[in-house]
Amino acid sequence: MERNSDVVVLASYAPLFVNVNKGGMQWGSNLIGYDALNSYGSPSYYAQKMFNTYLGDSVISVTGVNIPTQAWQRPPAPKQVPTLFFVATRASGSGTIYLKVVNTAGFAQSVQFHLNGVRHVARTGYRLC
């Protein structure tokens, strides 16, 4: 959505809520789970939150190489899709660059970043889980 923000104006997520009590779950892709006492966000919730919180006002070109793929079992036929999704934006007021990476694999993956033309990079970043 960020890469095509000139075209995508609004977005939504469905199904949104799921009752996590036994027998209450209809879909595997709900955004927020709840029971009588608690609620929690799914991994998709935290990915959506990251993209909404760390948002620049212009998209920066970014490419990935040698990105692993995984089988996506969706009709009409299975296909291979990347396990890492990413986008970079820049906040023109502060010069901050936000590089957001989402790992859809069920395990940690090593990633290297090469930032061409960047004079200064902070020693630390933020890892959101």
Domains of the chain, by residue range, sit at 1-53, 55-129
Residue 60's pLDDT band (boundaries 50, 70, 90)? confident
**pTM (2 decimals)?**
0.72
Average pLDDT value over all residues in the chain: 83
pLDDT in tens, 10-42: 777 777 888 888 877 777 677 888 888 999 898
The CA-atom distances, in angstroms, between 57 and each of 70, 92, 98, 109, 126 are 32, 7, 10, 29, 19
Residue 128's pLDDT band (boundaries 50, 70, 90)? low
pLDDT in tens, 71-103: 988 788 889 999 998 999 999 999 888 888 889
Please tell me which residue, 118 or 68, carries the higher pLDDT value.
68
